[in-house]
Amino acid sequence: MKQQFREDIAGTIRLTVYENNVPVVPTSAKITLYQSGGSVLQAQADATAIASTSGEMTYTLTTTHTDVADLNYKAVWCYVVSGVTYYESQLFDVVKSILSIPITDDDLYSELDSLRKANRQDKGTATAGGAATLTDTKRKEDDDYWTGGTIEILAGTGAGQVRNISDYVQSTGVITVTPAWTTQPSTDSTYRIVKSFSTKIRQCFEKLEDMLYSKGKRQDLILESSQIKFPLIYLSVHFICLDLMDEQNDKWDRLATAYFEKFNTAFNGLKLEYDETESGFIEGGDEEGQSPTSLRIQRC
């Protein structure tokens, strides 16, 4: 999904380039910014920073760059790797409202409690513990597989503690938690670890954003994140149920169908309001209360 910036608010545009699934670390980088019509917004300038490990290139946008709400501004990056110069184009938008993800796993569990038991989870015994970590060297899942999920100490030292997982590293088996443990776990601590649905939630959030773009005038749309809470819950449950489905017309297939219908009803009930006159307010008429009933998303 394209990066978005608030009108008249400074921000940072970012780009990471990959080769063979590994991030490329440039030795230098420059950027040129263009308005959606092709006019130069910012002559070529040095990147603000290049991360030494991830290779992420960044450039600080000022309020001059975000002065006008519009879609498809273009950034052209010029970067050097091993003495060779490469170019990469990137589109971004300046909009009047930016949406954030308004739900968590708990919202999905509250909506459909059977997802809690159906979710990917596992048990184990710590091989070491730290102030904000639990290590299990027998874990072999990919990096960040458990990030965003939860871990609960079931028995032994620190029993009863539940924490959110902020990081997981495969090579060391270290699970980092937040907040830190009240009682640091030890080698007698058995635990249960539960994977987060955060990746699926983000995918569904991006689908919603794409649908709002399809409606048009996304740059002028005034919408707060809480307004998409229930459409996002229903769409997320729909796709999770599809993943859990074993055969047509089983429990999960029927739930997926039901939640797709709930999503359509909730999404089509949204009132989309646009500030096209630059007043900072919704003034009625064409700006007020448009329903997105013309939009549809195909069921997979």
The pLDDT score that the predictor gives to residue 295 is: 40
Q: Is the pLDDT of residue 296 over 50?
A: no
The pLDDT score that the predictor gives to residue 284 is: 53
SS3 call for 88:
strand
The pLDDT score that the predictor gives to residue 275 is: 84
Contacts of 44 (CB under 8 A, 6+ apart): 30, 31, 32, 78
Rounded percentage of the chain residues whose pLDDT exceeds 90: 87
Domain membership flag for residue 222: yes
Structurally, how many domains does the chain consist of?
3
Domain membership flag for residue 89: yes
Q: Is the pLDDT of residue 81 over 70?
A: yes
Q: What is the DSSP letter of 65?
A: T
Q: Is the pLDDT of residue 291 over 80?
A: no
Q: Which helix (H) or strand (E) holds 256?
A: helix 251-268
Q: Tell me which of 194, 212, 233 is where a domain ends.
A: 194
Q: Tell me which of 160, 194, 228 is where a domain ends.
A: 194
Domain membership flag for residue 233: yes
Residue 228: domain span: 198-287
* pLDDT tens-digit readout, 14-34: 999 999 989 999 999 999 999
The pLDDT score that the predictor gives to residue 294 is: 40
The pLDDT score that the predictor gives to residue 1 is: 82
* pLDDT tens-digit readout, 156-214: 999 999 999 999 999 999 999 999 999 999 999 999 999 999 999 999 999 999 999 99
Same domain, 168 and 153: yes
Same domain, 225 and 186: no
The pLDDT score that the predictor gives to residue 290 is: 53
The pLDDT score that the predictor gives to residue 280 is: 54
Question: Using 50, 70 and 90 to split pLDDT, how confident is the model at 297?
Answer: very low
* pLDDT tens-digit readout, 213-255: 998 999 999 999 999 999 999 999 999 999 999 999 999 999 9
Q: Is the pLDDT of residue 293 over 70?
A: no
Looking only at the bridges linking them, the beta strands covering 150-155 and 162-169 are: antiparallel
pTM exceeds 0.75 for this model: yes
State the alpha helices, DSSP H only, in 53-197: 105-111, 114-118
Q: Is the pLDDT of residue 279 over 90?
A: no
Mean pLDDT, the chain, rounded, equals 91
Q: What is the DSSP letter of 141?
A: P
Q: Is the pLDDT of residue 123 over 70?
A: yes
The pLDDT score that the predictor gives to residue 287 is: 45
What values do phi and psi take at 165, rounded to 5?
-95, 120
Q: Tell me which of 168, 194, 220 is where a domain ends.
A: 194
Same domain, 221 and 283: yes
